[in-house]
Amino acid sequence: MDERMEQKIIFRADAGGSQQLADAVIREQPLTIYLNGQEFVTLLCTPELAEMLAVGFLRSEGLIRSYADISSLRVDEGEGFVFVETAGGSLAEKLYGKRTITSGCGKGTVFFSVLDSLKMAPVQSTLRISYLQVINLSRTLQEKAALFMQTGGVHSAALCTPTEVIYFCEDIGRHNAVDKIVGLCLKNMVAIADKVLLTSGRISSEILVKTARLGIPLLISRAAPTTLSVELAEKLGITLIGFVRGSRFNIYSHTERVQL
């Protein structure tokens, strides 16, 4: 069976009664990142692509700029540990010590605040996308979400050009799904700044700031944004598209990148 889920015996009840059967349940487990010998953060995640999740998280939080910043990396899958050494020495002490990132709403802790993001330069990009490309990319994201179809317990994310998906990941946390993609891009030296980011989850301010820090000009979701994410998208030069459902969607900021 897929390592990301396991079978549990459940009782399913409906108007006609109940029955006992086996059901696929998504796995959730902690992944602790040790940075330069210090326990730095624990992520609650789906057990796959641990290395990519750790690398993507460090990049998204501004602790590394490229894969070359990592001098060594070791994954202990049995214990759920990732040991990372960076060329720049210890960074964890500057970031308030140990933190836990939950898989729930709002992300338990971040190391780069919304106030910090206001100092960033707006994203500059000539990237454009058409109405049909938005619809098609969203449909592709939904079609690829096999783990969600089996368990109903994960978010999905994808890095794309306007016409095709480059990387696709699923995880119990929407932040984790994005960070896995970032890790894959860094390790394989795939440029991020001229791409489109798709997510199945709600667009919170943290997801918006993460997108801006990566220099991605277009963020698309099947779900809703928050007021703060819309305000930040306008200030940081991000085209924010939400509620992509069927043949319609909402554009919340920088509509000039969408050809209607």
Catalytic residue numbers read: 105
Q: What is the 3-state secondary structure (H, E, C) of 124-159?
A: CCCCCEEHHHHHHHHHHHHHHCHHHHHHCCCEEEEE
236 token code pair:
């940081």
Whole-number Cα distances in Å, 245 to 139, 144, 220, 223, 242: 9, 16, 11, 9, 9
Q: Say how many C-beta atoms besides its own lie within 10 A of residue 117's C-beta.
A: 18
Q: CA–CA separation, 58 vs 66, rounded Å?
A: 10
The strand order across the sheet containing 99-101 reads: 70-76, 81-86, 29-35, 38-45, 99-101
